[in-house]
Amino acid sequence: MSRKPARNPRKATQKSLENAALFYLQRYASSAENLRRVLLRRVERSARAHDTDREEGAEFVENIIQRYREAKLLDDGAYAAMRVATLRRRGASARAIRANLMAKGVGSDDIDQALDADTAETPNSELQAACAYARRRRLGPWRSAEQRDERRDRDLAALARQGYSVDVARQVINAETIAELEAELEYQL
């Protein structure tokens, strides 16, 4: 099997980094720190291939980040709120969301505000997310009746690994039926 020869990376100039940043932001939502990492990787590849100045490239990146923040193209608070909503729908716990956003370089203040806003909007969002995860993985009441008792501890462990508290995990796994869980969610609203 033949492989294509590796392309030489482009030189990291102000214009090329600006184009790369715009293209990246068109395709992906990003935090300022994550965009900085993406652009600095490009600067590093350029420095290795073309012997360009790393410090000059880092200055270009900082200028771009600062301008985009002022123009509101980069807003870590809005990015955090959007990611919290997305990850909650997928069934992520607050701990998992916090870890994900920290890995993307979002500040803890922005994370706290986004999680607090999510909790204020939906007080039982952690239970809803745990139900979404259990539904997707067919845990607890979504498992067949024959397997529920023998898999109970495994189901609790799966929820714990996702960052849910023991109380939330037990509430989901110990529910007899899906309707019981839905009634609990309605009651807590």
pLDDT of residue 2: 67
* Per-residue pLDDT at 94: 96
DSSP labels for the chain? ---PPPPPPPP--HHHHHHHHHHHHHH----HHHHHHHHHHHHHHHHHHH---HHHHHHHHHHHHHHHHHTTS--HHHHHHHHHHHHHHHT--HHHHHHHHHHTT--HHHHHHHHHHHHHH-TTHHHHHHHHHHHHHT-GGGS-HHHHHHHHHHHHHHHHHTT--HHHHHHHHT-SSHHHHHHHHHHH-
| pLDDT (mean) for 23-52 | 96
- Domain ranges, ordered by start, for the chain: 14-70, 76-121, 125-188
pLDDT digits (tens, 9 = 90+) for 133-162: 999 999 999 999 899 999 999 999 999 999
61-120, pLDDT tens digit by residue? 999 999 999 999 999 999 999 999 999 999 999 999 999 999 999 999 999 999 999 999
Find the helix packing angle between 166-173 and 145-161, rounded to 10°: 160
Among residues 104, 116, 103, the alpha carbon closest in space to that of 79 is found at 104
Crossing angle of helices 108-121 and 76-90, in 10° steps, is 50
